[in-house]
Structure formats: structure tokens, C-alpha cells
Amino acid sequence: MEAPGCGSVEGTVSLLHLKRDLPEENGNTFGRERTVGKSTFVRLLGKINQEWHTVTEPLNKWQSLQTSKTKENSSNLLQMIYQDPSRWSYTFQTFSCMSRFKAQLEPVSETLLKAQEPVQIFERSVYSDRYVFAQNLFELGYMDEIEWAIYQDWHSFLVQQFEDRVSLDGIIYLQATPEKCLERLHKRARLEEQGVQLEYLERLHTQHEKWLIEKTTEVHFEHIKDIPVLILDINKDFEDNTLEEADLAKKGGSLCEEPVMPTVFYYGIPT
């Protein structure tokens, strides 16, 4: 099924992954750091062009993983990893990465295929899962060498098998300081995140910087080594600032509309 230009974006400190010009079933993805304002920024881009398709993280699925045939029995995997990261890091990272693969492999809707400028925006991608979050858990010692080797093995296999469908055309990096991200995290007051410390956000920030800015992270896939990265400073609280919102939306929207860029990825501190 041939599709017209379609992009993808992901976000973190905030990172957005953007993909356009899909050969068959591709889209945009957003990626960002935790509590950097990714979801708000995604909504801003959605206002620019209502034909663009945004894909958010399946947070509810992580918070209520059904463990039996009865709906009453479910587990909050997100809470479990925060409470006992040594026990649950590999389990959570495997499940979260599988959810990202599923999102990026989801068939493009007929509505999106008919759009003049089809763009898919993903909150995060399979690449930030590995090069930021999983890598960070391994370096912290929450995943041992055997678990890390297994994770990398199946991750590389799946990316190689579905390379055309999970590739990205660009990255929008929503950049904010760890201190600002912690402030926003406290404001959000998500139950599972009550114990998150500044040091953890600093480590995630460093992983993002090494990957997207310094280019010192070892990347194993040629198709994302030279991916374009748009850096947006979002230390200012733009949600209630009309002028700041307009400026960020304009900059981010220009990347999504760039005719030669089919995929955009945006990354920042995880939320």
C-alpha cells in the first residue's frame, strides 16, 4: 500500500520523533525527557494541522496490566518498577519497548493516507527506549549484563526485521534542565512518580545529550545515525504563554512540514 509523504516524531527533555513520506505503513513520533512538556507540545502541533496523527504512550496499559482472565486482577507495572527497579526493570523495559514497536507498526489509517501532508507523531520511539531508558537502567545496575545482552539482541533483531516501518525522518529535542523537569513532575503529581529524585532526571538528561547532541552514544543502526535533530529550549513554561506557544509551534511545525524530511524525532527528559 503506497502512501504519500508521511512523517513521524518522538519527544524528550522532550523528544519528538517525526516521520513522513511513508513507503507503506509509517508515521511520525514524538520523544521527550520526563516532565518536559511533551504532551502539551504534541497538542500544539496538532493545532497546526488537524490531519497530523499523534501517538501517545499507553500509560494506562502499564498501570493496569491484566494478569488473569478477570479484569479485577491487574498489576501496575509502572509502580512496580519505581518500587523495586532491580526486580522489574527488565520486565518493564521489555513491555514498554514492545508497546512502542506495536505503535510504530500499526497500519496507517485510511484518513491519514488520504491527507495531503500525512504526518505521524510518536511520543517516544523504539530508539529512545534503548539508547536512553534501557541503557540508563543497565548503567545504574538495575539490569544485569545477561538481561542487557538479551534486550539488545531482540531489539536489534526487531529493528532489522522492520527497519522500513520503524525508521524515523527526524528528531525534535524538547530540551529543559533536570531541575525544571522535576518541578513539572511535582506539579503533575502522578502517584507512581512521587519518589523520583533529581539525580535520576539528571542521568536521563545526560543520556539524551550524549545521544542527540554530543553524538557519543554507540548507535547500532545506520538509518538513524545522521537523523536531523531540531533542538527547542522549553525551560520557559509555555503552556499558559500564548506568544511562547506560538513560537514553539511554529518551529516544530516547520520541521514537520519540511518536504525533504519524512520522519522527525523529538527527545527530552521522560515523563
Annotated catalytic sites, by residue?
A: 123
Q: Strand, helix or coil at 120?
A: strand
Burial of 189 (0-12, 13-18, 19+ CB in 10 A): exposed
Cα separation of 261 and 220, whole Å?
21
Nearest of 202, 221, 203, 235 to residue 265 by alpha carbon: 221
Contact in structure between 52 and 121 (CB atoms under 8 Å): yes
Using the structure block, give the residue that is written with the C-alpha cell 506539579.
187
DSSP letters along 145-158, please? HHHHHHHHHHHHHH
- The DSSP symbol for 191 reads G
